[in-house]
Chains A and B, each alone.
Chain A
Amino acid sequence: MSETAIVEKATRFLSALRHCQVLGMQVHAGNAQGLTLCLPYSQQIVGNPETGVIHGGAITTLMDTTCGISTVCVLPEFEICPTLDLRIDYMHPAEPLKDVFGFAECYRVTENVIFTRGYAYQDDPQQPIAHVVGTFMRMGKNARAGAPVTRDIQGGGA
């Protein structure tokens, strides 16, 4: 799949997720190696009003979404993949007023499960604010509950 196709698919996927729209999340980059989303800084996601530091929950939402959508980088067709588990380790707090980027890659794909890992960063991907691992369940491309949104994300034809 081309880089443009991956970014387009990820963008359609993200636009279907209401809460991610509320947070203003956007696709930053994507290719076969992984996906990067952007969580813009805003007052509504602040966890500590004294320092302006973003709440861990907003970072978790960014990373759950990034890991989940990174499955489009490796799957030939869109599949609904619910999160089985997710773990976040905080290296240091996010700096206030700066956007946060989330990168994720699928490092192992089996018949039933997809293993993803990634990190959140602000200026420098080499200095992540958090490391993440997440495991996702494959429901198959014909999973009933996912049918309408699957059509939307595939672009109507599938």
Chain B
Amino acid sequence: MTALDLNQQVRDAHERNDYDGLIALIPYARLLGVECLRMGEDMVFRLPANKDLIGNPTLPAIHGGVIAGFMEQAGLLHLLMFMGIPHMPKIIDFSIDYLRAGHYRDTYAQCQVWRQGRRVANVAITAWQSRQSEPIATARAHFKVDKP
């Protein structure tokens, strides 16, 4: 058994309204370098450009799987932040449409919860680089949000 109580960390983050510590606890989020930027009432997630995230070496472009992983992580954090869920949601399914190449530069993501039921939440995630109106990918995911 590990001493780390993740659900307690989630509750602490809610209380402090500061999620950097929580992100730092998730190894995969650290590997990608996910950051969150509060914009008034909204939250925008940032994936800083990093050579280790490149998939297509010729363009060069960020790996499509990395963009998907970043968007999944954004959706998960968004649910935690805005829905006050006291534990880590679990992914049920994830579907992504790639609209433009994700070039080797910073990528942003924003989320919209379309429906949160007692057991399942439906989240839409949009990712962009130069302009929010020109997304590089859109995704939607279902998360299981009831008690583990």
Contact = CB atoms under 8 A, between A and B. Distances in A.
Interface residues on B, range: 35 or more
Interface string B16-56: 00000000011111111000000000000000000111111
Nearest to B31: A44
B99 to A, nearest CB: 9
Of B4, B6, B51, B96, chain A has the most CB atoms within 10 Å of the CB of B96
Contacts of A18: 51-55, 57, 63
Contacts, number: 138
Nearest to A60: B68
Contacts of B29: 55
A88 B96 CA distance: 9
B98 interface: yes
A64 B64 contact: yes
B69 interface: yes
B26 A61 contact: no
B64 A86 contact: yes
Contacts of A63: 65
A58 B6 contact: no
A49 B57 contact: no
B133 interface: no
Given A87-B93, A87-B94, A60 B27 contact: no
Interface residues on A, range: 35 or more
Contact of B63 (A19, A46, A54, A148): A19
B28 A55 contact: yes
Interface stretch (A3-11, A77-85, A113-121): A77-85
Contact of B59 (A47, A61, A145): A145
Interface string B81-125: 000000010111111111001000000000000000000000000
Of A18, A54, A56, chain B has the most CB atoms within 10 Å of the CB of A56
A61 B4 contact: no
